[in-house]
């Protein structure tokens, strides 16, 4: 796909610089999860870097840089998930349970989800990918973005990017 097609549709459909997933071997065994960043366009923005307490999102040489990750430093804390204004950061913990992953997703809608509730898990175009169970709803930091922890089938991690509370 040409770059222009991605930016016309607004939907990320393939690997691109700035769309970063963890290395598979590390991801499978890393408790707490690792960050996924889908931010392929050069824009003047860096809260992912400035909010990361461990330096896992490396310092930008230029404010327009796309994020680069040092996965040896990522703890899965999801502070970047809460602070990214583009809702482009997600955490996935592949060690959550048999066949299940825990995703930490940004959420700015109403109604708020509640712990234990079953929600629709949506893909990049808003399509329903699967159902998930809300495991936790973190209180917002300085703004209103909450981080919702949702357990999903592990084979849906690369597709689930949002939830719908019904
Ligand atoms: S999940 Fe936490 S440690 Fe990992 S990149 Fe985001 S802020 Fe940094
Ligand atoms: S904070 Fe979000 S939108 Fe801004 S550069 Fe980082 S990943 Fe991209």
Pairwise pLDDT comparison (1 vs 101), residue with the higher score: 101
Instruction: Check if the beta carbon of residue 80 is closer than 8 Å to that of residue 89.
Output: yes
Q: Are strands 118-122 and 34-38 parallel, antiparallel or unpaired?
A: unpaired
Å from CA of 99 to ligand 2 middle: 30
Confidence of residue 1 (pLDDT cuts 50, 70, 90): very low
* Nearest 10 degrees: Cα torsion 162, 93, 70, 126: -10
Instruction: Check if the beta carbon of residue 21 is closer than 8 Å to that of residue 28.
Output: no
How far apart, in Å, are the Cα atoms of 132 and each of 113, 129, 162? Answer: 11, 10, 11
Cα–Cα distance, 138 to 78 (Å, whole number): 10
Over residues 70-100, the pLDDT tens digits come to 999 999 999 999 999 999 999 999 999 999 9
Ligand 2 probe mutation, 42, 89, 108, 143, most atoms within 8 A of CB: 89
Å from CA of 105 to ligand 1 middle: 13
Domain that holds residue 15: 3-164
Instruction: Express the helix, strand and coil content of the chain in percent, nearest 5 each.
Output: 15, 30, 55
Domain count, the chain: 1
Q: Return the ∠ at Cα 140 (arms to 77 and 98), rounded to 5°.
A: 45
């Amino acid at each position: 796909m040409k770059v222009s097609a991605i930016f016309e549709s607004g939907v990320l459909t393939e690997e691109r610089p700035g769309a970063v997933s963890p290395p598979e071997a590390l991801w499978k065994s890393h408790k707490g999860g690792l960050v996924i960043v889908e931010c392929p366009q050069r824009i003047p923005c860096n809260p992912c870097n400035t909010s990361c307490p461990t330096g896992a999102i490396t310092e930008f040489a230029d404010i327009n840089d796309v994020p680069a990750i040092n996965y040896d430093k990522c703890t899965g804390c999801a502070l970047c998930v809460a602070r990214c204004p583009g809702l482009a950061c997600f955490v996935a913990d592949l060690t959550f349970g048999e066949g299940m992953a825990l995703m930490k997703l940004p959420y700015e809608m109403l109604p708020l989800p509640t712990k234990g509730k079953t929600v629709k898990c949506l893909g990049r175009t808003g399509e329903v990918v699967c159902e998930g169970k809300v495991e936790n709803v973190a209180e917002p930091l300085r703004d209103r973005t909450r981080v919702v922890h949702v357990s999903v089938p592990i084979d849906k991690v690369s597709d689930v990017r949002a939830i719908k509370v019904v």
